[in-house]
Amino acid sequence: MTSILDLLREYQPHGETETADVARVRALAGRTPDPYSRSLPLHVTGSALIVHPDSGRVLLRWHPRQQAWLQVGGHGDPGENDPLGIARREAAEETGLTDLVPWPDSQLRHVVVVSVPAAGADPAHEHADVRFVLATRTPDAVVPEEPAAPLRWLTLPKARELITEANLRETLSRAERLLPDRA
């Protein structure tokens, strides 16, 4: 288990935006004992882009609240403080995949602060999303967590067509560099 501060200490951000986002997350983690608390206007979340290395495909999930195809992931449960563990648990819950492993290793791949609009009793807030790449050997075993949140395995070009968020396009590009060349 790695704390968010330890994870960020080893991480090298890419570009001005990610450097600023990492600085915000470091500051958050340095001033509160629970940077995952949903009561904070900015809190840490863990997510993952799931890949099937043998086919070079990626898995996207429809997020009804955001009305977009995104990676899987979400909030830590009370007491959770391992970003990779949160990303793996959330990924398994949202996809039904039981064989998810960090791929090709457990390195943090992207840090993004994203705005989340108000919905119901939840005010607008921000997620300090720490992103990993997870792999499965059983892509056909996916089962959506709920009917309103379907899952789609996509080639990289098809995923780029569906993704509307620039930060997720960057995550996809980083994952693509890890996948075997399909040319």
Domain boundaries of the chain, sorted by first residue: 4-176
Predicted pLDDT at 82:
94
Report pLDDT digits (tens) over 79-121: 999 999 999 999 999 999 999 999 999 999 999 999 998 888 8
**Element (H or E) spanning 27, and its range?**
helix 15-31
Tens-place pLDDT, residues 37-83: 999 999 999 999 999 999 999 999 999 888 999 999 999 999 999 99
**What is the pLDDT, as a whole number, of residue 181?**
73
In the beta sheet, which residues pair with residue 52?
A: 57
Percentage of the chain lying above the pLDDT 90 cut:
89
Question: Average pLDDT of 123-151?
Answer: 97
DSSP string, 48-80: EEEEETTTTEEEEEEETTTTEEE-EEEEPPTT-
Identify the CA nearest to 124 among candidates 41, 68, 25.
41
* pLDDT of amino acid 119: 85
Neighbours of 1 (CB within 10 A): 9
Query: Looking at domain 4-176, which of 3.20.20.140, 3.90.79.10, 3.30.450.20, 3.30.70.360 is its CATH number?
Result: 3.90.79.10
Q: How confident is the model at residue 167 (pLDDT cuts 50, 70, 90)?
A: very high
Gyration radius (Cα) of the chain, Å? 16
